[in-house]
Structure 1
Amino acid sequence: MFMEVTAMETKNIILQLRTERGMSQDELAEKIMVTRQAVSRWENGETIPNTETLKLLSKEFNVSINTLLGAPRRLICQCCGMPLEDDSIIGRDRDGSLNEDYCKWCYADGTYTYSNMDELIDVCVKNMVNENISEEQARSYLKNLLPQLDYWKRYEELSDNGQFDEFKHQLVNEINELHIEGMPKLDKLNALIGKYVNPEYTLPNNSKVKFLNDQKTYLGNQLECEFGGERYFGIVADMDFILVCTYDKNNVNGTNVTNPELILYKKR
């Protein structure tokens, strides 16, 4: 019964994804190295793709295998516990394929971004506290949940022996050595998604430009200006660059910061 339901859902999903991209059955078949008849059988609900073909379809359409199968599983990040309800927040392996076990914040381009459970809890608690959940309740919930997740249960097997933490430490030192006026000392860098930290800057020639990829995961933080007022410093970095900007405080939690000003963009 499950396979019948899955096949029915999958046929509509593949048909929709193919037609949205203006592809014929022949074109899709060529891209994923199957026959046109195989594509036709999927879309007629006669069969569903095998595991390896689902991986190819996932990469071609940029959606998760879970989505292709009609979302039969409730995915959660196996590092932080976040529900993976949207393919856009799923982490990616080094080859760009989606890894349905993790979110973008915890797993980026094949790299696990957290090795300290307490540090992760500190980050998550800030996003969970609201009028219905206190900080104490959020912290207690995470302390119970995280040890049950696959990443933390297999930490010794999955960890990189501190290499990524060492890279973050090096980046923090490089940023502090810039001695930017008014910016307090940076203590740590967190995983950030590009679309949340990618404002449009006005250059001296009045042209406007964005420097980041909305879909990529970076390292960064925000710091209150030492001079007070309503400005925050925003720091974003990765293997290739360091970016420092300022913006108005009233929108620090939004995707559209107010009055962003680029302070520094430095290639590493």
Structure 2
Amino acid sequence: MEMQEMLKKLRENNNLTQEQMAERLMVTRQAISRWENGETQPNTETLKLLSREFNVSINTLLGSPRQLICQCCGMPLNEDSIISREKDGSYNEDYCKWCYEEGEFAYKSKEGLLDYLVGNMPNPENLKDEERRSQFDSYLSQLKHWK
């Protein structure tokens, strides 16, 4: 879904007129109309406000142009409900809610995460734990949090 469609859907799902949405975002009704017609787009600060006000990630507002991946464990972040939050409630689109929540990381070390992955991830190929640990480590080392 494109950004203009997402913004209109968000407004309609919240039973708001363009005027009401404009008041809530401190912009003009004409700005809302131009966004929904695809003539212009909200600026960065307005996107942040939209995200907070309507409890939706910026990536979703933009029409999900990029595949988000947790930069701690590598999990795809394909739903807003699994994206982490900061203490102020805003989204942190770099991490899943299991690795990072309210400004705190769940795994204090890569070793701790590796222990969890080896102990809990399926092993359909029946690989030895050392080999699995090495594969997980190789993948995790490419993620921002562990570089």
Q: Would the TM-score normalized by the shorter structure come out above 0.5?
A: yes
Structure 2: state its 5+ residue gaps: none
Is 1:141 matched with 2:135? yes
- Report what 2:54 is aligned to: 61
The alpha-carbon deviation at position 93 of structure 1 amounts to: 0.8
Alpha-carbon distance in structure 2 between the residues aligned to 1:50 and 1:83: 27
- Given that 1:128 and 1:138 are in contact with CA atoms closer than 8 Å, whether structure 2 keeps it comes out as no
1:94 is aligned to: 87
State the distance in 2 between where 1:139 and 1:16 align.
44
Counterpart code for 1:109: E
Alignment-derived partner of residue 97 in structure 2? 104
Partner of 2:115: 122
Report the secondary structure of 1:148's partner residue. Answer: coil
Select the residue among 15, 38, 43 that pairs with 1:50. 43
- The one-letter code of the counterpart of 1:148 is Q
Q: What secondary structure is seen at the aligned counterpart in 2 of 1:101?
A: strand
CA contact (8 A) 1:58 1:97 kept: yes
CA distance in 1, matches of 2:126, 2:67: 23
Aligned residues: 146
The aligned amino acid for 2:55 is N
* Counterpart Cα distance in 2 of 1:61 and 1:138: 41
**1 CA distance for matches of 2:125 and 2:8?**
42
User: Which structure features the higher share of strand residues?
Assistant: 1
Please provide the CA RMSD for this pair.
1.8
1:1-268 superposed matches below 5 A: 9-131=2-124, 134=127, 136=129, 138-153=132-147
| Distance of 1:117 and 1:30 partners within structure 2 | 46
1:152 partner letter: W
Q: Give aligned-pair identity as a percent.
A: 59
CA positional deviation for 1:151: 1.5
The Cα shift of 1:130 comes to 4.2
Higher relative contact order (CA 8 A, sep 6+): 2
Structure 1, unaligned stretches of length 5 or more? 1-7, 154-268
Extract structure 1 runs of 4+ deviating beyond 4 A: 132-135
Measure the CA separation in 2 of the matches of 1:27 and 1:138: 54
Shift of 1:33: 1.4
Deviates more, 1:138-147 or 1:44-53: 138-147
Deviation track 1:186-209 (CA, whole Å, cap 9, x = no partner) reads xxxxxxxxxxxxxxxxxxxxxxxx
Q: TM-score, normalised by structure 2?
A: 0.90
Q: Which position in structure 2 is the counterpart of 1:239?
A: none
Letter in 1 for 2:9: Q
Instruction: Give the drift of 1:142.
Output: 1.6
Q: Which structure has more helix as a fraction of its residues? A: 2
